[in-house]
Amino acid sequence: MTELFTFAVMAFSTLFFVMDPLGLLPIFITLTANETPEQRRQTARRASLVTFAILLIFTLFGAYIFRLFGLTLDAFRIAGGILLLLMALDMLHAQPSRARSSPEETEAGSHKDDVAIVPLAMPLLAGPGTVASVMVLASQNSDWRYTFVVLLVVALCCLASWLILRSSDLICRVFSPAGIAVFERIMGLLLAAIAIQFMADGVVGVLSGAGFSLSAALTDPTAAATTSATAASTSAGTP
């Protein structure tokens, strides 16, 4: 149970930091500048619901997508970690991340009659980093309880995003832009640590799959190299 709780905390932290609804407040206010407060709340609700639907699909069918394209979880951990690290570095500078959405995409979306789906839900809330995160998290353990935890975390993060966006005027009045930037930098630092952990787990998994033992390499490099070569030759000789 302790391990499941730790996983839930890590999953919520990862997904909430990547979605970064606080960092989206200036963009949300700009996109909905011509809307009434009630219309703004409806836009926030639709964006959160669409985001939940997108992430639900990738959470439930991420493993099938891996198999369809012949991807391994470890490779996706490394790729997802790199993407999250790029986003974290932008958060540390308190600036919008181009890894999530480019200014051109945001500008194009601002001319739409309904901005809830594009660009708010996709790609701002359910962007590449968010999708990669839920796919990695949902594939880490085959136990159904872990998948349920990821689904619960997705629901909680979408609920939190809805509450934050619908209260955008109040939050901006209470907290100054500098205060929001400080909080975003803290989230960026934590997200950077999570991203590096993703990449480290992926690298260890890839090396283990190749028959390379990190602990053996540290104690006996010659033996580790021999074991790795044997595993590689065995794999090459397997039809």
Helix-helix angle 73-92:177-209, to 10 degrees: 160
Nearest to 63 by CA among 75, 71, 74: 71
ω into residue 119 within 30 of 0, thus cis? yes
Nearest to 44 by CA among 164, 175, 183, 147: 164
Q: What is the pLDDT of residue 209?
A: 77
Q: What is the pLDDT of residue 234?
A: 46
Q: What is the pLDDT of residue 198?
A: 93
Residues in the chain where the model's pLDDT stays below 50: 231-239
* Three-class secondary structure assignment of the chain: CHHHHHHHHHHHHHHHHHHCCCCCHHHHHHHCCCCCHHHHHHHHHHHHHHHHHHHHHHHHHHHHHHHHHCCCHHHHHHHHHHHHHHHHHHHHCCCCCCCCCCHHHHHHHHCCCCCHHHHHHHHHHCCHHHHHHHHHHHHCCCCHHHHHHHHHHHHHHHHHHHHHHHCHHHHHHHCCHHHHHHHHHHHHHHHHHHHHHHHHHHHHHHHHHCCCCHHHHHHCHHHHHHHHHHHHHHHHHCC
pLDDT digits (tens, 9 = 90+) for 122-158: 989 998 899 999 999 998 888 999 999 999 999 999 9
57: Cβ contacts below 8 Å, ≥ 6 apart = none
Q: What is the pLDDT of residue 239?
A: 44
pLDDT digits (tens, 9 = 90+) for 89-135: 989 987 877 766 667 666 666 566 678 998 899 989 998 899 999 99
Exposed e or buried b for every residue in 8-27, given b needs 16+ CB within 10 A? beebbbbbbbbbbbbbbbeb
For the chain, domain boundaries: 2-209
